[in-house]
Amino acid sequence: MFKMNNFKKVLIGATIILFTGSGSAKAITHDAQSGDNLYRSSKTYGITLDTLRESNDEWDNLIISGETLEIPGATSSTKNSSASVETKPESVIPYNDEDLQLLGRLIRAEAGNQPYTAKVAVGAVVVNRVKSDKFPSNISSVIYEKNQFTPVDNGMINKPATDETIKAAKEALAGVDPTKGALFFYDTSATSKWLLSKPQALKVDKMVFAY
């Protein structure tokens, strides 16, 4: 559980508002939703990940929906204005800057040593899942869906995106899809009969993309 220290919390709908003991609002709000994690929260509120972890005595990365974070020294003016989700003119699904960074990080973790086409294809799989009624409807929830992407489990998702993986993410978000609709990908060394039974859409070096 997260520590509240000298704060008390008031739950209004799905929004947690933090107040000081004196009753004056700090105007800090945080909606704990499925897919939230400490890394994204630290970026949203402009504080370091270590500070957030120490303040809440929380050392893994995932946040359970409904839990509340103490945001040390943050105010509403600290919160990154890019948190709102919008459909950009060149995009095929809604996303914000955090989504772009998250997708870039996933691409690095999954295809960092693969050709550029594979990087775009990884991004396209995420976009295709967001568009599909078989998966969650936003980038964060797709990526953090349980047991879907190994980098989420092993922590590799927290390594920063590179210029190349951000470029690949932007292409995928703009609708570039070398796979033409794939929803899955795996390494050529995979042994899962379920994955191997999927119709192949594209093979790039050591990565296979499937419907």
pLDDT at residue 94, rounded to an integer: 93
pLDDT at residue 52, rounded to an integer: 73
- pTM check: above 0.85: no
Q: Which two tokens stand for residue 64?
A: 């359970």
- Exposed e or buried b for every residue in 85-115, given b needs 16+ CB within 10 A? eeeeeebbbbbbebbbbbbbbbbbbbbbebe
pLDDT at residue 169, rounded to an integer: 98
| Cα→Cα distances 174→36, 71, 170, 190, Å | 24, 34, 6, 30
pLDDT at residue 67, rounded to an integer: 72
Name residues whose C-beta falls within 8 Å of residue 32's C-beta, 6 or more positions apart in sequence.
16, 63, 64, 65, 66, 67, 68, 69
Q: Indicate the fold that domain 97-210 takes in CATH.
A: Arc Repressor Mutant, subunit A (1.10.10)
Per DSSP, 95 falls in state B
pLDDT in tens, the chain (211 residues): 444 444 333 333 333 334 434 444 343 555 555 556 666 666 666 667 777 777 777 776 666 666 777 777 654 444 443 445 555 657 899 999 999 999 999 999 999 999 999 999 999 999 999 999 999 999 999 999 999 999 999 999 999 999 999 999 999 999 999 999 999 999 999 999 999 999 999 999 999 999 9
Report the C-alpha dihedral over residues 208, 142, 145, 152, rounded to 10 degrees: 60
pLDDT at residue 22, rounded to an integer: 42
State the Cα–Cα distance between residues 107 and 156, nearest whole angstrom. Answer: 11
Question: What is the end-to-end Cα distance of the chain in Å, rounded?
Answer: 40
- Boundaries of every domain in the chain: 8-81, 97-210
